[in-house]
Amino acid sequence: MNARTTRVLQCSAVLVAAGLVLTACGSSDDSNSSGQSKSPSFSGRGPITYVAAKDSSGVTEKVIDTWNKQHPKEKVTFVALPGDPDSQRQQMIQNAQTKSDAYTVLSLDVVWSSEFAAHQWIDQLPTAQFPLGKMLKPTVETGKYRDNLYAVPASSDGGMLYYRSDLLKKAGVSTPPTTWAQMQAACAKVKKLPEAKDMSCYAGQFQKYEGLTVNFAEAVNSAGGVITDAGGKPDVDTPAAKKGLDFLVDSLKDGTIPKEAVTYQEEDGRQAFQNGKLVFLRNWPYVYSLAEKSKVGGKFAVAPLPGLDGAGSSSLGGHNVALSSFAKNKATALDFMKFFTSQETATTFLEDASMAPPYESLYDDRALVKQYPYLPVLKKSILNAAPRPRVVQYGDASSAIQQQAYAALTGEKSSAQALKDLQADLQKLSAQ
């Protein structure tokens, strides 16, 4: 019996015997549980670890250094995992399955909350101890499982269209495209410029990994389709979804998207854009500050993602912090999580690495908007973003999406067949 089962059983016993309110057990409404850090599950002080993707901006190390200077007896060690989200998930799951205490605070991709909470790999958190009311609502929702809080937003993410404003201007295109057809027309004009003749039009993330799930979902949603309907049922074998997938498949065939883009993760696309190989790039906000420092600095801008008949829709991304159920020193961990998800830390992540803050007020701060002109586009992207399927078997669902979308992109299957097969795969998973 693990600690959580023990706690749940103890809670039920108390409830039956004394009719006490659920809040005492940290259940669905724990808004009065600000003293929960004193409960056995949040006890113990001392060194802990923070486990996240390696950070090329160096800002994670900087934030942890600030904490460590203030807490010499409760130091945090940064365990840097590979950049690929699927490998991060694998390593965190392995750690949980062996009940290892090596990982304390986990940086969870927003799509993993249900899976980690349902398996009891992470602890339920006391809502009252985090300023959730100041955060964008969709970001907070990503950290919940069955209405309980299991992970707290550290950074959000919304896809944006990066474009070479210098070249569009020179080619006489005065506003960024809002539809895929307009994007292709703008590219045709730009490619007539001598300096752009070897450039490709567009890329996103099309390697077979989580980024492909994101890009596939965006293409489907931006054509008016869905992967799962409002009730969570798979509904991807539709004409609308096909139009979305066909945009990607046809663009690869006609060269709008370069062939090598089927090997691109976020960083590959960023490099291609920075090296002047792309007119348009779909990517996350972190690219902004790095690209500003590159040779395309001052030559690009961002716009909302385009779609079939009008503006497209992003997949909601981002990272939340969660507490490993198997960790030691949970009182320290909870304090570190509060520090790490504070508005001050989010401002540092924004200023140093153009990461999307969960805090709403930062998007409306005039001085920040002047300095970071992409903030209004990003806020819209996040507020209009579609969550990826919120299912406990997220890993299996995402891997089915990746398999089928990749088969269509590489011409192994028609898009109609890929969607039919994906619908069957997802139906099988939801029947489990």
Is position 225 an interface residue for ligand GLC (rule: CB under 6 A)?
no
Q: Give min distance, CB of 210 to ligand GLC, in A.
A: 4
Q: Which is nearer to ligand GLC, 41 or 381 (CB)?
A: 381
Is position 285 an interface residue for ligand GLC (rule: CB under 6 A)?
no
Q: Which is nearer to ligand GLC, 36 or 289 (CB)?
A: 289
Q: Give min distance, CB of 381 to ligand GLC, in A.
A: 12
Q: Which is nearer to ligand GLC, 210 or 235 (CB)?
A: 210
Q: Give min distance, CB of 214 to ligand GLC, in A.
A: 5
Tell me phi and psi for residue 301, to 5 degrees.
Answer: -145, 175
Part of the chain binding ligand GLC (CB under 6 A), chosen from 15-23, 109-117, 163-171, 327-335: 109-117
Q: Which is nearer to ligand GLC, 164 or 319 (CB)?
A: 319
Residue 380's CB: how many other CB atoms inside 10 A? 16
What token pair was written down for 335? 């304090």
C-alpha–C-alpha distance, residues 393 and 344, integer Å: 34
Is position 55 an interface residue for ligand GLC (rule: CB under 6 A)?
no
Choose among 412, 424, 125, 369: nearest CA to 252.
412
Q: Give min distance, CB of 28 to ligand GLC, in A.
A: 26
119-138: contacts with ligand GLC (CB under 6 A): none
Q: Which is nearer to ligand GLC, 330 or 388 (CB)?
A: 388
Residue 186's CB: how many other CB atoms inside 10 A? 24
Which of 25, 52, 63, 110 touches ligand GLC (CB under 6 A)? 110
69-98: contacts with ligand GLC (CB under 6 A): 85
Q: Which is nearer to ligand GLC, 126 or 318 (CB)?
A: 318
Is position 143 an interface residue for ligand GLC (rule: CB under 6 A)?
no
* Axis crossing angle, helix 59-70 with helix 330-340, rounded to the nearest 10: 130
If phi over 0 gives left and psi between -120 and 50 gives alpha, with beta otherwise, what is residue 46? left
Tell me phi and psi for residue 48, to 5 degrees.
Answer: -140, 175
C-alpha–C-alpha distance, residues 41 and 53, integer Å: 26
Is position 389 an interface residue for ligand GLC (rule: CB under 6 A)?
no
Q: Give min distance, CB of 317 to ligand GLC, in A.
A: 3
Q: Spell out the residues 6+ positions from residue 331 whose beta carbon is closer than 8 angstroms to its own.
A: 37, 42, 43, 44, 45
Residue 26's CB: how many other CB atoms inside 10 A? 23
299-358: contacts with ligand GLC (CB under 6 A): 317-319
- Whether residue 23 contacts residue 31, with contact meaning beta carbons closer than 8 Å, is answered with yes
Vertex 420, ends 218 and 432: CA angle to 5°?
90
- Whether residue 345 contacts residue 356, with contact meaning beta carbons closer than 8 Å, is answered with no
If phi over 0 gives left and psi between -120 and 50 gives alpha, with beta otherwise, what is residue 329? left
| String of contacts with ligand GLC for each residue 21-50, x by CB under 6 A | ------------------------------
| String of contacts with ligand GLC for each residue 177-216, x by CB under 6 A | ---------------------------------xx--x--
Is position 218 an interface residue for ligand GLC (rule: CB under 6 A)?
no
Residue nearest to ligand GLC (CB): 317
Choose among 52, 186, 41: nearest CA to 122.
41
Q: Give min distance, CB of 160 to ligand GLC, in A.
A: 12
Q: Give min distance, CB of 185 to ligand GLC, in A.
A: 29
Q: Give min distance, CB of 19 to ligand GLC, in A.
A: 42
Site size toward ligand GLC (CB under 6 A) is 13
What token pair was written down for 151? 């992970």
CA atoms in the 13 A half-sphere facing the CB of 168: 23
248-267: contacts with ligand GLC (CB under 6 A): 266
- Whether residue 82 contacts residue 299, with contact meaning beta carbons closer than 8 Å, is answered with no
- End-to-end alpha-carbon separation of the chain, Å? 25
Contacts to ligand GLC by CB under 6 A: 85, 109-111, 157, 210-211, 214, 266, 284, 317-319
